[in-house]
Amino acid sequence: MRRFHDNNPIAVTLYYLSVTAISMFTMNPVILMISLISSVLSFCLYTKGSARSHIFSLILFVVLCAVNPLINHNGATVLFYLNDRPFTLEATVYGVVAATMVTASLYWLRLFSGAMSSDKLLYLFGRFSPKLALILSMAIRYVELLRHRWRKIQNAQKALGLYDDGNLIDALRGRARVLSILMTWTLENGIITAESMDARGYGVGRRTSFKLYKLRVPDMILILITAALTALTVGGITRSHVDYYPTITMQLGDPLSIAGYIGFGMLTLLPIILNTKEAIRWRYLRSEI
């Protein structure tokens, strides 16, 4: 079964760049709400993220909502006063919209990082900048590798009786010792990796690379669909008008704006639509066996 992330990395990258750019560079509340709902839904369906990741996003959302009315007192509609400082409706609404923008963008970036493996990054950047591709692929690899090594060192320390969570001081000492061992292990591995690459002749002459991916017809169709829906969304955003200061004024009901909202909804749900289609097709083919 061919999932969305199994498409050519160029098509997948263009898709996530389009969705993330639209989410980051607009303050249209309808667009941002669609982006947040779709990103959370995709994250829940296609990643192994724990509840902690959603809790962190929720805390970040609440903090960002509260920060703007605390530091920005512009706006004509005063809700209440705190220490002689006005809290306005406009600043509160702007804070909620800005928090939605940041949270949705972070979810899309996390989905993109989950879709990009080291071989995909090498395919994307290997021809233009092999060193950048190597650095990115090694950085992504080290995220999970360091987490695995941390658990391995921690379990070894517990087995030796050197790790105690009985009180805060012992727990901090144990974590500091684990961190010290982890950093030493990582630096030693870095030296070994550098010497191994030097011995294998890395950086000498022009490098060749094996291309695992090819641009096929479905990838080109995905790129065209992404470009068309992105253009429709941008056209709809340009026809809408939103102002938060000094009073909230919104013009969101233009027919082209509504078409842009529908287009962006289809764009953000594109991975779910394609994966669902492939799942139905896979079940049908299995039933025919």
pLDDT reported for residue 206: 67
pLDDT the model gives residue 101? 95
Specify the pLDDT at position 143: 73
Give the mean pLDDT per block of 10 residues along the chain (289 residues): 81 93 92 94 80 84 90 83 84 92 93 81 71 71 81 85 72 84 87 80 66 83 94 91 85 87 94 87 80
pTM of the predicted model, to two decimals? 0.77
User: Three-state DSSP class for 209?
Assistant: coil
- 3-state class of 250 per DSSP? strand
Q: Which two tokens stand for residue 188?
A: 């030693």
CB 102 within 8 A of CB 38: no
Token pair in block for residue 73? 């007192």
Q: Hey, CA dihedral for 146, 149, 155, 161, is it positive or negative?
A: negative
